């Protein structure tokens, strides 16, 4: 296929390079200098979109997505698909899909899970909203960039799945870190704690696959000084999106709300920015009862 790729940062760059390595013609644009190995560089988002079968975007937020969509939709040929892989608010995803449909285009919101490692390895999971026809057109590209793509429903459903998933992740990571901090103060060895919980009812992805305690369980950012695999500020972004969506849907999410406040304090008032979201463990371990 002929592909336009807009947003070639830590996630978009390796995704685009994987498509190029698979033999697709990829034209790429990013306002910041990027690794263009195998990618044809162009000077604007509209140039990347011109004549493309699929335009893929990986952008920081919904406002930027709306701005980029306004530039690329007029440049796209009828029948092409605009596939946004950013994590943005549901309203922005639905607005862009409506604009694309009005122009005779397909549109997908397809946020990802798997982090920078998954982007490089081509093992991402895509949560996709949009029409079945648009999903079928882009499915071969999902198969290159990831290991799984789930069609979650109509426009906005991909973003809904992503923010619900990451609300669970934020909450369970805090609970896992709290449990390790409590175990420390009770004199329970962290490895013994892991051995019990990882095979008991406290099992979770945060414990078993991404353990926040250094030297315990499989390799994770905790074993690399909490250098981010998934930065705390990105977790905060996703949690805030979940609470924005909950406000709009009149949904009661008390644990999601509390997790948002804790990550907000960690990132904006403490030392969380630039650290992995699992660095909540040393934060909690250093605090006493009632210190917040």
- The contacts of residue 64 (CB under 8 Å, 6+ apart) are none
Burial class (CB in 10 A: 0-12, 13-18, 19+), 249: exposed
Comparing CA positions, the residue from 124, 121, 97 lying closest to residue 112 is: 124
Length of the chain: 292
- What is each CA distance from 45 to 11, 69, 70, 180, in whole angstroms? 17, 9, 10, 47
Q: Which of 191, 185, 150, 156 is nearest to 286 (CA)?
A: 185
Q: How far apart are CA 222 and CA 215, in angstroms?
A: 8
Cα 245 to chain center, whole Å? 16
Active-site residue 162, yes or no?
A: yes
Please tell me which residue in 2, 162, 227, 237 is annotated as part of the active site.
162
User: Using alpha carbons only, what angle is made at residue 208 by residues 202 and 212, rounded to the nearest 5 degrees?
Assistant: 95
Could you list the active site residues? 162
């Amino acid at each position: 296929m002929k592909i336009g790729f807009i947003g070639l940062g830590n996630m978009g760059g390796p995704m685009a390079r994987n498509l190029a390595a698979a033999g697709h013609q990829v034209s790429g644009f990013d306002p910041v200098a990027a690794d263009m190995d195998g990618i044809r560089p162009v000077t604007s988002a509209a140039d990347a979109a011109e004549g493309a079968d699929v335009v893929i975007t990986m952008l920081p937020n919904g406002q930027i997505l709306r701005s980029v969509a306004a530039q690329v939709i007029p440049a796209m040929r009828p029948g092409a698909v605009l596939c946004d892989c950013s994590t943005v608010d549901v309203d922005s995803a639905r607005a862009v899909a409506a604009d694309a449909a009005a122009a005779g285009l397909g549109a997908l919101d397809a946020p990802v899970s798997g982090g920078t490692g998954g982007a490089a390895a081509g093992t991402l999971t895509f949560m996709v909203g949009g029409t079945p026809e648009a999903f079928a057109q882009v499915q071969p590209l999902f198969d290159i960039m990831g290991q799984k793509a789930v069609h979650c429903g109509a426009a906005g459903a991909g973003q809904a799945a992503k923010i619900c998933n990451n609300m669970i992740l934020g909450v369970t990571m805090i609970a896992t870190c709290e449990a390790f901090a409590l175990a420390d103060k009770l004199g329970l060895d962290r490895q013994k704690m892991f051995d019990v919980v990882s095979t008991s009812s406290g099992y979770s992805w945060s414990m078993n696959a991404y353990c926040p305690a250094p030297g315990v369980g499989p390799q994770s950012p905790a074993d690399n000084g909490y250098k981010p695999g998934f930065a705390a500020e990105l977790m905060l972004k996703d949690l805030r999106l979940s609470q924005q969506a909950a406000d709009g849907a009149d949904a009661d999410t008390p644990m999601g709300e509390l997790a948002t406040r804790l990550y907000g304090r960690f990132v904006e008032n403490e030392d969380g920015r630039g650290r992995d979201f699992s660095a909540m463990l040393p934060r909690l371990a250093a605090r006493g009862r009632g210190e917040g």
